[in-house]
Amino acid sequence: MPSDAQPVSILFVCLGNICRSPMAEGVFRSLASSHPLISRIDSCGTGAYHAGDNPDPRTMAVLRANGIKDYKHKARKVRVPQDFEEFDYVLAMDGMNVADLRGMVKRKGLGAEVGGKVRLFGEFGGRSGGEEVGDPYYGGDDGFEVAFEQVVRFSRGLLEVVEREAEERG
Ligand code: 4NP
């Protein structure tokens, strides 16, 4: 890795910021919080329904069962335009999240470069066309286990891309 590689910041986004995006944040923190190419990791929701709440207990249970025991978060809504200015990657869990985020970018007239930061997290899973992380909120615990398997896989893929891009820039 080149010594002058610029670290990047990552924002994970879902609807409520209590199930999927905190799970992604917790997993990615456990993989990469001390990685020299990662400067900041956070998560938020496109909606404010749960602002100030802790993550869903089912998200915390899946994290804990997989050895991630120190993750803490309070839900917050995406800040426009600040989050789009401050973060390099704005990674959405499903297509509706992508559309909502791109709509916000467009309404604020933030431009194509900012819009290009918004991507489906599942693009990093290595399957063609990408994958959505389905909303597990109204379902059973198995939905949280499926989401966990996905966010681990996508997080590893993302880290590989960040490392490769730093290599190419250097
Ligand atoms: P999340 O799940 O977007 O993965 O945090 C949801 C949590 C709450 C609601 C919807 C989705 N809700 O409508 O309250």
pLDDT digits (tens, 9 = 90+) for 109-153: 998 888 899 999 999 999 998 999 999 999 999 999 999 999 999
Binding pocket residue ranges, ligand 1, CB within 6 Å: 14-20, 49-50, 135, 137
Cα separation, 43 vs 11, in Å, equals 5
Q: Note the residue count of the chain.
A: 170
The predicted structure's pLDDT at residue 32:
97
If you take atom 9 of ligand 1, which residue's CA is the nearest one? 16
Q: Taking all residues of the chain, what is their mean pLDDT, rounded to a whole number? A: 95
Distance (angstroms) between ligand 1 centre and the Cα of 142 equals 16
* Residue 40 neighbours by CB under 8 Å, 6+ apart: 9, 10, 86, 87
Cα separation, 70 vs 60, in Å, equals 10
The predicted structure's pLDDT at residue 3:
54
pLDDT at 2 exceeding the cut of 60? no
pLDDT at 40 exceeding the cut of 70? yes
The predicted structure's pLDDT at residue 43:
99
Cα separation, 150 vs 138, in Å, equals 18
pTM given for the model = 0.97
DSSP code per residue over 92-129? ESSHHHHHHHHHHHHHTT--HHHHTTEEEGGGGGSSTT
pLDDT digits (tens, 9 = 90+) for 71-92: 999 999 999 999 999 999 999 9
CB-based contact 51:33 (threshold 8 Å): no
Cα separation, 48 vs 123, in Å, equals 26
Q: HEC string of 18-61?
A: CCHHHHHHHHHHHHHCCCCCEEEEEEEECCCCCCCCCCCHHHHH
Residue 169 DSSP class = H
